[in-house]
Chains A and B, each alone.
Chain A
């Protein structure tokens, strides 16, 4: 799947980093403001989807490849599970630590909740980006991957 026109590429170059930054903000401040791991993860996935759509999959493989998406997905799930198992140090599965709870309203508060938010954000973002990449990379049986960019993908004027 090829890229899109020059205007789209330039706008993406300016904007995609800010979208990812916004997603990271929503994930990290999930215990203080609306948002949390799931919303922030989906925003991170959409920043990566924007890069893939605008520049084509050949270029975006250098930024974040499909293998990296799968590894991040599994790593996020493992970290979340480890946070749960570490709750046994405080008495129960997924128990929060009473002495790690800081003051309300600061970034470093609420025990294990920010760590869980981060793990969930990485997991959901990488997973959804991986699914989109798998959908975009799918080729029909017997169809060779052509060298010229495939602009027909999102060209709605071609439809009658």
Chain B
């Protein structure tokens, strides 16, 4: 009975002052939405940024356990790298499903001749190569599929020095085997690829007379949930006769950068949390201060301190809950909108930002109203009623 009366009191108080309560709810919602948006971004950004950083290229190399053969570095040496069988690719395909891989591309290196010039030749899966190395700049087109036997892409330096352009015919020979190709694109990377000729894996294997063989596999792995070293170890364990090398250049720089970014976003979210909390507190305090006279009147009519306090606390709680709920939802939508416009994809939804922002709304709104209410109830009703 008393509880129902209490509920009615709260309800009446809210209904009579609907304009002001709406302002308060709005203020809480604003704060909560900022908190939930900032936290959602702080949690989701790491994965997105890690994905962006994969544009730096392969961060794991799979090489034969025997290591690049002894002839490594030999001018004119035929066997540049030791071989591994391309049957590994099927096994890697199975293993990769359980790992956070962006992609992987097999490579076969060989030495070839174009007329009287010697040039390094690379066979690969063209589509996978682009996936692993999205930062490359290509003029013209790219080799269309893994079975294109006659298309070739030239490194920009090779093209310049030999005076070849897109569409030009190209004749490559390796130890007397000769094949003709057509230049479909010119690749410029600023790296070794500028000096190389790129073919499909199959065409290169056939031309080099090394059917079923590979020199190395480039792997691009995301560093989101598990460290890259873990992925490296998993790959090594799953593929016999293979050494997996983590590219320290990329992995260490990435870890450092992502750690700093997480710290930055965390600090920003913290800042937003504090500022929003203070804003909510200010609004609630103002709205209670305004009702000092009401409190005096209640006390004059015989209400005890606890009852008045409880009433105001319940009101503040209701405001906090309503504002927190609305704000948390709005904040998540806001974070999604930002993520969509920046990364073109949504960030994953996590419950913690929503809970934190609702919690902030309720706790801060209640606390902020409790302090002025306590002050008001401790004063003689007469003093309060007479005015400030």
Partners in one complex: no
